[in-house]
Amino acid sequence: MLDFQGLTRRQLNARSNHRNVSLDQIQLEKKPVSKLDRFMREKDVIAVTSLSHSTIWRAMKDGRFPRPVLISPGRVGWRESAIIAWQGNPAEWKVKSNT
């Protein structure tokens, strides 16, 4: 399998055009899955969801977006698994109640 990680979309297009292969046919090599859930910073969450800071916090208040976890005083992070679950169906996602 070819590894195209780290290339820009323009570089991928150039490679796919050169080989007469569409971008849809190129499979990016996946990194091994860790058994540990990593924490994402707010800037990473904004990057992967394309939501703004205000929209994320408004959605959390309404129960439509995962809440961050307190990592240490003054530091919070979102569980990557929670963001992935939200991305599966953002319109229908709701915070799971503990009751």
Strand ranges across the sheet with 75-79: 39-40, 75-79, 69-72
Over residues 72-86, the pLDDT tens digits come to: 999 999 999 999 999
Over residues 12-62, the pLDDT tens digits come to: 555 545 455 555 554 545 556 567 889 999 999 999 999 999 999 999 999
Over residues 47-61, the pLDDT tens digits come to: 999 999 999 999 999
Take residue 24 and report the two structure tokens written for it: 């849809």
Q: With both helix axes pointing from N to C terminus, report the angle between 42-49 and 53-61 in degrees, rounded to the nearest 10.
A: 90
- Quick check: 78 and 45 in contact, CB under 8 A? yes
Run of H or E including 45: helix 42-49
Burial of 55 (0-12, 13-18, 19+ CB in 10 A): middle
